[in-house]
């Protein structure tokens, strides 16, 4: 079986890493926004772990390799009218990455986070062993601690996940609300699965300013009057302000944010109508923009130009944070006054189960809203790079929230260990990575090792 041969190559690549050297993936691309120090030792060969092993439409499950992108996973399941319970917004996010590093989308108010639909998974541990972890049994500790571990416990080679039904089309309503109206509307949707008498299967939103916010409510539909296309000259996020209703194919709905990387493609000129006409649509996608960012990080071309023009250096502020819905309006007002980035993405979520997950301890039974903001801000005179991110971290804690770790983090060790339950991680790591071959979570997220 090809999957078994791929796992064999992975294990062989582990054996080639010198004893005592760190174990990392030999992976060319990433959706992370935190740079890491270069490593000269060879990495793990995951080149054969990028596909879908099998789809069972009757059981509504799929066996998927850890490095399979959601783009390829959806392509395999959608012909059956099925999709993963949660499909993160960007095509090249991998299933293994979303489970070990968290993910979210507009189904999360009812389906939780991607790891909550995992039935079992095979993991290459830091000790070089392949173990199958399930909610109960010998490796239940690894199963529960794997989410938000970011490769500090091992790497998923195969995951069996639940699938959800989806109709051929998604009907959208863009509902404008005041900041104080957002939480009551979200609470109604979570409690009833409806809003203003109509079913809601998907919900996310955008705050364009303190006086202009929208919830986009999606409903499965077997038919559509006319579908929109936001992969060409039209731009999805602008339609939220322009159209009270809309229809998309299921495929285009799932990837509605990828074409313009939400709204971040504007930084590359891709929203200029003349540039857009010349920019091939196959290159208007999140992974291309991410590569451009990588080139800028390495060569600092735009930064040098800005300095020559007398403009201040800029701090990268790329974060997703979970805020309790009851605190959402207050946090958005604080953020607009203190940071001033617009727009911001809003995505309600609620854990499916009754137990918290150790390394990202959201409270069961509580509705949160993911607030996503991605861009840069000028570094004020007398300030230092990172000051704005540090203020955001403090505010998130003040509002009772939690912060994802895919981007820059500035916590001191004690605060980090408390917020992300590192003592629990350490106990499980002793069993599955006894020689500390895998980099620690604080080192990965904060010190960038």
Q: Are 441 and 162 in contact (CB under 8 A)?
A: no
**Which tokens in the block code for residue 20?**
């005592």
What pLDDT does residue 24 have? 87
Report the CATH number of the 2-166+426-447 domain. Answer: 3.30.465.10
pTM of this prediction?
Answer: 0.95
Residues facing residue 8 across a β-bridge? none
Q: Which residue has the tokens 């790329």?
A: 318
Who's near 177: CB < 8 A, 6+ residues apart?
Answer: 185, 213, 214, 215
| Position 310 pLDDT exceeds 80 | no
| Position 136 pLDDT exceeds 70 | yes
- Compute the Cα dihedral for 189, 193, 195, 201 and give only its sign: positive
What pLDDT does residue 33 have? 62
Average pLDDT over residues 278-299: 88
CATH 3.30.70.2520 in the chain, residues? 300-410
What pLDDT does residue 298 have? 78
Pairwise CA distance, residues 354 & 410, whole Å: 31
Q: Which residue has the higher pLDDT, 130 or 305?
A: 130
Average pLDDT over residues 47-76: 98
Question: What percent of the chain is predicted at pLDDT more than 70?
Answer: 96
SS3 state of residue 334 = helix
**How far is residue 439 CA from its own chain's centroid?**
21
Average pLDDT over residues 327-345: 97
**How far is residue 57 CA from its own chain's centroid?**
26
What pLDDT does residue 449 have? 66
What pLDDT does residue 308 have? 84
| Position 79 pLDDT exceeds 90 | yes
Residues facing residue 4 across a β-bridge? none
Q: What is the mean pLDDT of the chain?
A: 94
Q: Are 257 and 374 in contact (CB under 8 A)?
A: no
**Which tokens in the block code for residue 38?**
């270069």
Confidence of residue 1 (pLDDT cuts 50, 70, 90): confident
Q: Are 221 and 247 in contact (CB under 8 A)?
A: yes
| Position 296 pLDDT exceeds 90 | no
What pLDDT does residue 309 have? 82
Who's near 164: CB < 8 A, 6+ residues apart?
Answer: 60, 82, 83, 84, 85, 107, 111
Burial call 178-204: b when 16+ CB within 10 Å, e when fewer:
ebeebbebbeebbeeeebeeeebbbbb
Average pLDDT over residues 172-178: 98
What pLDDT does residue 317 have? 96
What pLDDT does residue 38 have? 56
Backbone angles phi, psi at 438, to 5 degrees: -95, 140
Who's near 101: CB < 8 A, 6+ residues apart?
Answer: 32, 148, 150, 404, 405, 406
Rg (CA), the chain: 22
Who's near 19: CB < 8 A, 6+ residues apart?
Answer: none
**Which tokens in the block code for residue 53?**
């092993």
| Position 32 pLDDT exceeds 70 | no
**How far is residue 449 CA from its own chain's centroid?**
21
Confidence of residue 425 (pLDDT cuts 50, 70, 90): very high
Average pLDDT over residues 407-424: 97
| Position 179 pLDDT exceeds 70 | yes
Q: Are 205 and 253 in contact (CB under 8 A)?
A: no
| Position 159 pLDDT exceeds 70 | yes
Q: What is the Cβ-side half-sphere exposure of residue 96, based on CA atoms within 13 angstroms?
A: 26
CATH 3.30.465.10 in the chain, residues? 2-166+426-447
Q: Are 287 and 91 in contact (CB under 8 A)?
A: yes
> pLDDT (tens digit, 9 = 90+) per residue, 197-251?
999 999 999 999 999 999 999 999 999 889 999 999 999 999 999 999 999 999 9
- Selected from 3.40.190.10, 3.30.70.2520, 1.20.58.1610, 2.30.60.10, the CATH number assigned to the domain covering 300-410 reads 3.30.70.2520
**Which tokens in the block code for residue 405?**
């770790």
Q: Which residue has the higher pLDDT, 35 or 206?
A: 206
Tally of residues, the chain: 449
Q: Which residue has the higher pLDDT, 225 or 46?
A: 46
User: What one-character DSSP code corresponds to residue 45?
Assistant: -
């Amino acid at each position: 079986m090809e999957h078994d041969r791929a796992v064999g190559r992975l294990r062989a690549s582990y054996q080639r890493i010198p004893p005592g050297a760190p174990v990392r993936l030999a992976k060319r691309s990433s959706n992370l926004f935190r740079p890491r120090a270069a490593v000269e030792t060879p990495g793990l060969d995951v080149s054969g772990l990028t596909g879908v092993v099998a789809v069972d439409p009757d059981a509504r499950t799929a066996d998927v390799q850890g490095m399979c992108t959601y783009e390829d996973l959806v392509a395999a399941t959608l012909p059956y009218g099925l999709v993963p319970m949660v499909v993160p917004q960007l095509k090249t996010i991998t299933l293994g990455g979303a489970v070990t590093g968290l993910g979210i989308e507009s189904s999360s108010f009812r389906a939780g986070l991607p790891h909550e639909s995992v039935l079992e998974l095979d993991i290459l541990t830091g000790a070089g062993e392949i173990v199958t972890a399930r909610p109960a049994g010998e490796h239940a500790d690894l199963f529960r601690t794997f989410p938000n571990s970011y490769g500090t416990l091992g790497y998923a080679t195969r995951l069996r996940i639940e699938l959800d039904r989806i109709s051929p089309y998604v009907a959208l309503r863009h509902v404008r609300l005041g900041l104080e109206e957002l939480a009551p509307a979200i609470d109604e949707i979570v409690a009833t699965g409806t809003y203003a008498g109509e079913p809601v299967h998907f919900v996310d939103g955008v705050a364009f300013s303190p006086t202009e916010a929208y919830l986009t409510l999606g409903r499965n539909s077997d038919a559509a009057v006319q579908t929109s296309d936001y992969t060409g000259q039209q731009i999805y996020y602008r339609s939220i302000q322009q159209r009270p209703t809309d229809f998309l194919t299921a495929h285009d709905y799932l990837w509605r944010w990828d074409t313009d990387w939400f709204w971040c493609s504007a930084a590359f000129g891709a929203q200029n109508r003349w540039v857009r006409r010349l920019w091939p649509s196959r290159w208007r996608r999140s992974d291309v923009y991410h590569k451009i960012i990588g080139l800028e990080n390495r060569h600092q071309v735009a930064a040098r130009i800005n300095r020559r023009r007398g403009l201040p250096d800029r701090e990268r502020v790329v974060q997703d944070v979970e805020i309790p819905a009851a605190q959402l309006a207050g946090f958005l007002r604080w953020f607009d006054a203190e940071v001033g980035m617009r727009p911001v993405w809003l995505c309600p979520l609620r854990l499916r189960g009754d137990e918290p997950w150790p390394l990202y301890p959201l409270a069961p039974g509580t509705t949160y809203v993911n607030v996503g903001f991605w861009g840069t801000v000028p570094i004020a005179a007398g300030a230092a790079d990172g000051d704005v991110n540090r203020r955001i971290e403090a505010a998130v804690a003040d509002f009772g929230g939690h912060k994802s770790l895919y981007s820059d983090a500035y916590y001191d060790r004690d605060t980090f260990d408390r917020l992300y339950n590192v003592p629990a991680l350490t106990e499980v790591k002793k069993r599955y990575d006894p020689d500390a071959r895998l980099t620690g979570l604080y080192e990965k997220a904060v010190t960038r090792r």
